[in-house]
A = this chain, B = another copy of it.
């Protein structure tokens, strides 16, 4: 937008910003104060003064206003009100910044005078302290309701603060915004990630399930008939992003995970029967369940020489570009090169396939289709076999095979000997749980990848650029995907530790990156001490421990999912609410209140040294509780 078109109106104590409204736009903004004003400015240059910066506006410093009407350039909104306060006197002013959309035929009252009816109504709604307090109270109630779906009291104030307030709050923000409005990475316009948005559901689905349902159908509607998917889509048009296209071979699986999380929370199996288009073309549709089967089949239809999933352009690690081979600056590692490589395989997708596939089999069992469930289990078993045969490196799981069939994430490699993602997902999937490989893998993660500030992505970092690896090797050691600490994938190891029953390890890893525990090192960590960041600089970085890109998607959801469902262990299943804590020893007892379906579960967990479960107002099958009452009290000892 060229600011050459800036226009404003001022009426009483209200400033109207109506840039471009005279032509094709039908919205404007207003800024009101509920007091008589002694002056105003809407022209930025006058407000700031020719030689003053934003930190020292001339109008403020000289206590004057120009009563300017911005025209053509740089509109702002500023009220000047002269207040005299007696000792101890208080005065209250309400400033109201609002946004109005009008219908096309109701845009103007008279030529170029905007229709202010809706603005007047909105101002009226909040023009006294009483009205504002009431509205703020309503907002409190709204958030209390959202946040009361899951509340914990462990006695660890930092843990409770994250689980009860900030982590679910960040989950909602990332659910709403995803990356489509991220300044950090690439400005606006990046769109919602297929992969990201599905993962965001994990941390959001219990808050407003109806919106999660809509999101799942939106995402699935961008899928192709062969199960592949646009990597990104635009939230307003809900259409796939052609510039980046498809070819990220982990994408399809995340749709299964997101949908299952939704059904486990709500019991809404009916969503699976919804007819959902392919590539937004309503002439070509299938049920959502059909979409999930295509997602699943996309993996088995794209296996490589070792029976492991082909990686395509990349898997979750967008910077591991094994079919790219870029040599020119400014080529995008994500779109340069091909997704068609028939050699490069991802062990992470293999782990995902088993982790998500087992849940997919459970879904079919819950639907009563044991035959299809068995079929799926056979495929996850075959994938487990392929991993054991070709992706075990002796002390940990490989990360990938490159386009020449060479190992990535192996002791044979000079750099990048071990990676976090494949070890997280394989152990989460239970691979090697029985034969000790899982425990070995996690021990190797601890030995080689863990540092003071979390788990780095790979070890050792790549010291130079490799065309056959792509963007991962373009970063300085310790940053981003080259041995940075991703807050997004650290929870995979936390969950993996709970799969092996390692509560202390899971808790220790959780506390390493949870923002509330980093308040004391804010001078190192530097981002908000209540928000997860995308990345913390790893031990090989000069400024190890310095975080960047707070608020970004995926991260909040996975941490919330790990702590609420696996560490605290209150986990929705198709059959009911599983209660299976795996907590560090310093947490002796805790209580959780969980609204699940139509029941409020009041759960008490106590360490007594004996395992028991006692349910009042419901029934337990193993550690899975169900109830048809309003309140169900559960006491678990461990």
**Pairwise interchain contact B479-A5, C-beta atoms closer than 8 A:** yes
* 0/1 interface trace, chain A 395-414, chain B, CB 8 Å (1 if under): 00000000000000000000
Q: Which residues of B contact A185 (CB under 8 A)?
A: 2
**Pairwise interchain contact B22-A476, C-beta atoms closer than 8 A:** yes
**Pairwise interchain contact B72-A20, C-beta atoms closer than 8 A:** no
- Interface 9-residue window, one of A299-307, A537-545, A600-608: A537-545
Q: Which residues of B contact A550 (CB under 8 A)?
A: none
- Interface 9-residue window, one of A325-333, A383-391, A449-457: A325-333
Partner of A72, one of B7, B23, B53, B542: B542
Partner of A537, one of B20, B72, B112, B329: B72
**Pairwise interchain contact B328-A24, C-beta atoms closer than 8 A:** yes
A506 at the interface (CB under 8 A from B): no
A334 at the interface (CB under 8 A from B): no
Question: Are A476 and B541 CB-contacts (below 8 A) given A53-B53, A548-B73?
Answer: no
Q: Which residues of B contact A473 (CB under 8 A)?
A: 23
Q: Which residues of B contact A53 (CB under 8 A)?
A: 53, 55
> CA–CA, A329 to B465, complex, Å?
44
A588 at the interface (CB under 8 A from B): no
A134 at the interface (CB under 8 A from B): no
What's the nearest-Cβ distance from chain B to residue A47, in Å? Answer: 14
Q: Which residues of B contact A537 (CB under 8 A)?
A: 71-72
* 0/1 interface trace, chain A 108-136, chain B, CB 8 Å (1 if under): 00011000000000000000000000000
**Pairwise interchain contact A474-B328, C-beta atoms closer than 8 A:** no
> CA–CA, A69 to B185, complex, Å?
23
A4 at the interface (CB under 8 A from B): yes
A475 at the interface (CB under 8 A from B): yes
**Pairwise interchain contact A476-B5, C-beta atoms closer than 8 A:** yes
Most buried by B among A5, A71, A473, A541: A71
**Pairwise interchain contact B464-A111, C-beta atoms closer than 8 A:** yes
**Pairwise interchain contact A24-B474, C-beta atoms closer than 8 A:** yes
* 0/1 interface trace, chain A 42-81, chain B, CB 8 Å (1 if under): 0000000000010100000000000001011100000000
**Pairwise interchain contact A4-B479, C-beta atoms closer than 8 A:** yes
* 0/1 interface trace, chain A 449-483, chain B, CB 8 Å (1 if under): 00000000000000111000000011110111000
Within 8 A of B (CB), among A176-233: 185
**Pairwise interchain contact B329-A71, C-beta atoms closer than 8 A:** no
A25 at the interface (CB under 8 A from B): yes
**Pairwise interchain contact A464-B112, C-beta atoms closer than 8 A:** yes
* 0/1 interface trace, chain A 3-47, chain B, CB 8 Å (1 if under): 011110000000000001011110000000000000000000000
Partner of A25, one of B69, B329, B546: B329
Partner of A478, one of B72, B331, B475: B72
**Pairwise interchain contact B72-A112, C-beta atoms closer than 8 A:** no
Partner of A112, one of B326, B463, B474, B475: B463
Residue on B with the closest CB to A466? B23
Partner of A20, one of B2, B71, B474, B543: B474
Q: Which residues of B contact A541 (CB under 8 A)?
A: 71-72
Partner of A329, one of B4, B24, B69: B24
> CA–CA, A422 to B198, complex, Å?
58
Residue on B with the closest CB to A184? B2
Question: Are A476 and B72 CB-contacts (below 8 A) given A2-B185, A24-B465, A53-B55?
Answer: yes
> CA–CA, A72 to B25, complex, Å?
41
Residue on B with the closest CB to A327? B24
Within 8 A of B (CB), among A234-252: none
* 0/1 interface trace, chain A 328-344, chain B, CB 8 Å (1 if under): 11010000000000000
> CA–CA, A326 to B25, complex, Å?
11
**Pairwise interchain contact B4-A480, C-beta atoms closer than 8 A:** yes
> CA–CA, A541 to B4, complex, Å?
11
> CA–CA, A69 to B478, complex, Å?
14
Most buried by B among A22, A185, A465: A22
> CA–CA, A548 to B4, complex, Å?
9
> CA–CA, A135 to B69, complex, Å?
50
* 0/1 interface trace, chain A 562-591, chain B, CB 8 Å (1 if under): 000000000000000000000000000000
> CA–CA, A478 to B5, complex, Å?
10
What's the nearest-Cβ distance from chain B to residue A335, in Å? Answer: 15
What's the nearest-Cβ distance from chain B to residue A100, in Å? Answer: 15
**Pairwise interchain contact B72-A464, C-beta atoms closer than 8 A:** no
> CA–CA, A546 to B546, complex, Å?
46
What's the nearest-Cβ distance from chain B to residue A543, in Å? Answer: 6
**Pairwise interchain contact A326-B24, C-beta atoms closer than 8 A:** yes
**Pairwise interchain contact B476-A71, C-beta atoms closer than 8 A:** yes
What's the nearest-Cβ distance from chain B to residue A56, in Å? Answer: 9
> CA–CA, A52 to B292, complex, Å?
52
Q: Which residues of B contact A326 (CB under 8 A)?
A: 24
What's the nearest-Cβ distance from chain B to residue A327, in Å? Answer: 6
Question: Are A111 and B463 CB-contacts (below 8 A) given A53-B53, A72-B479, A548-B73?
Answer: yes
What's the nearest-Cβ distance from chain B to residue A236, in Å? Answer: 10
Residue on B with the closest CB to A25? B329
A sample of 11 more A-B contacts (CB under 8 A), given A20-B329, A71-B476, is A4-B479, A5-B476, A20-B474, A24-B326, A53-B55, A55-B55, A69-B542, A72-B476, A72-B543, A73-B548, A111-B463
Can you offer 19 A-B residue contacts whose CB atoms are under 8 A? Answer: A4-B475, A5-B475, A5-B476, A6-B476, A20-B329, A20-B474, A23-B329, A24-B327, A24-B328, A24-B474, A55-B55, A69-B542, A71-B478, A71-B479, A71-B537, A71-B541, A72-B476, A72-B543, A111-B464
The 8 closest A-B pairs by CB, nearest first: A71-B542, A23-B465, A23-B474, A72-B479, A24-B329, A25-B329, A4-B480, A7-B476
